[in-house]
Copies of this chain bind each other. A is one copy, B any other.
Amino acid sequence: MKPKKIPNISVDCVVFGFDTTTKSLNVLLINRYLESKDSNDILVDDYVLTGYHVYEDETLDESASRVLKEFTGLTNQYKKQFKAFGNPDRLTNPKDLVWIKSEAFNSRTITIAYYFLINTEDIDLENNTHYAKWFPLKQLPEIGFDHKEIIKEAHEDLKVKCLSEPIVFELLPDKFTINDVQDLYESILEIKIDNRNFRRKLINKKYIVPLNEKQVGVSKKPAQLYMFSKDVYEKIYQKNYLISI
């Protein structure tokens, strides 16, 4: 039996990925497409976040994980609930209203927003049935509902969070160079970081472990590869209360 949807409560997932080649922080979006039944005119053709109604028997966290799994096949990824969006007018622009009618959901829907951090190598988007695609955060396409605002707020939350916990490694392949980490921080924080300081600080962290391997298939001098050890991090980590008011 199909689970029953709660008609006015949904989850939306901002799925972040990092492209180490283009050094771009990306968001996974799905195509929202609707043709008129009479004329074949295109009524809606834009992009939205992965999301769906909450089912009656699941928690909000379970709902978000289910949505991620349905759209990407992935489970057990880093996720964070960061905000609920519920303005009365959040789904009331003309295209949204056409879409809502076709999907039979409540125009006063409150959505609980999550973000996920994904290693893009783990996803295969070829032949996916949802027309899901990565877009650079800096070059987003036309976006439906209030999802542009949701993406913006997810990014703001990620900026703060990535400075207090080593969550950026969720976005990298298992083996990475120090430059990859720097590129990633720079793309999240939208700043330039001093190269030498950063390298020295990072290499000194016990949980950044050098491997007996170097990059392969690069045109310049191959760089040393590292891994992030969550075990080491959790063992040595002591919450550092820096009164920084």
In the assembled complex, the CB of A161 is this many whole angstroms from the nearest CB of chain B, namely 10
Segment of A30-38, A53-61, A118-126 in the binding face: A53-61
Of B84, B205, B240, the residue contacting A81 (CB under 8 A) is B84
Of B85, B108, B160, the residue contacting A6 (CB under 8 A) is B108
Assign chain A's interface to a size class: 35 or more
A244 neighbours in B (Cβ, 8 Å): 163-164, 240, 242
In the assembled complex, the CB of A208 is this many whole angstroms from the nearest CB of chain B, namely 9
Contact check, A57 vs B88: say whether CB atoms are below 8 A apart: yes
Contact check, A243 vs B185: say whether CB atoms are below 8 A apart: yes
In whole angstroms, how far apart are the Cα atoms of A119 and B112 in the complex? 31
What are 11 A-B interface contacts by the 8 Å CB criterion?
A54-B110, A60-B84, A60-B85, A81-B83, A84-B84, A160-B164, A165-B245, A166-B245, A185-B243, A189-B241, A201-B243
